[in-house]
Structure 1
Amino acid sequence: MEDFKKAMEEITRSIQRMVEEVKERRDYRLLEEGDVVRIEIDMPGLEPGDISLSISKDGTSLKAEGARGDRRYTKLIRMPFKIDPSTAEAYYRSGVLTITAKKVKEEEIKIPVRG
């Protein structure tokens, strides 16, 4: 029974290490340049027509999918800020899908303080 317990603990540690490695491995880059954001997603071996790109209406996430032969990619990126989907542009070059869009400025509302 003790051997089984040790084996299960080792399996659990191995799975935890694998999950951490997947979290650390990013096949995309998110770059902020003033009020513009640029997202670069590695998707080698495709053509521009092989790629489908969508951005949520509220601008909090984007999804890129692509397939050609045995190559298949699906990438869902949750944005750390909102972007304006109507400003998004995308191009694909040398195996990298690049999306640019303007960030949505947070609107502040002044609240009067009464005494």
Structure 2
Amino acid sequence: MIDAGDNLIFRAQLSGIAPQDIDVHVTRDATSLGGERKVFQNGNNVNPLHSEFRYGKFQRVINLPFPVQNDKVQADYRDGILTLTLPKVEAVCNRVVKINLGELPSSGESKTLDASSTTA
């Protein structure tokens, strides 16, 4: 998971799994990823001797570090990599705040900033 400013980017390696076999649910605070990696079936009566692949159903729930707008999630599945772009709710996005300095003294004196002089 990557914090990309206004979005969280979630990536999962799901090689060998068809998109229709992946189940993704996103709430405001978590992402649930599940599916099934099916056993490779070759119809030529071949008997595999050894395999390093894991087969079967899987389910994983990942808690998110920030609340997200789950109705605006974008998904991309390419080359066995699932990428979810999860927009953060506006309350946690980095905002630029303009500080009103007013007229600064020309003699190089410092001026104390008033917190009420900020605007969103």
**TM-score scaled by structure 1?**
0.60
Q: Which runs of 5+ in 2 are unaligned?
A: 39-54, 93-120
* 1:86 correspondence with 2:78: no
Q: What is the root-mean-square deviation of aligned Cα atoms in Å?
A: 1.6
- Distance in structure 2 (CA, Å) of the matches to 1:74 and 1:102: 23
* 1:42 correspondence with 2:27: no
Amino acid at match of 1:97: L
* 1:106 correspondence with 2:91: yes
Identity of matched residues, % = 26
1:14-25 matched pairs, under 5 angstroms? none
Which of structures 1 and 2 has the larger relative contact order (alpha carbons within 8 angstroms, sep 6+)? 2
- Residues 48 and 91, structure 1, Cα contact 8 Å, conserved in 2: no
- Distance in structure 2 (CA, Å) of the matches to 1:82 and 1:105: 9
- Distance in structure 2 (CA, Å) of the matches to 1:72 and 1:102: 29
Is the partner of 1:106 in helix, strand or coil?
helix
Amino acid at match of 1:66: G
| The structure with more helix, counted as a fraction of residues | 1
Aligned residue pairs total 76
Amino acid at match of 2:15: P
**TM-score scaled by structure 2?**
0.57
Is the partner of 1:45 in helix, strand or coil?
coil
Describe the superposition over 1:40-86 as per-residue Cα deviations: whole angstroms up to 9, x where unpaired: 01222101111111012xx1001011113134332211001100001
- Distance in structure 2 (CA, Å) of the matches to 1:74 and 1:45: 16
The aligned residue for residue 64 of structure 1 is: 33
Is the partner of 2:20 in helix, strand or coil?
helix
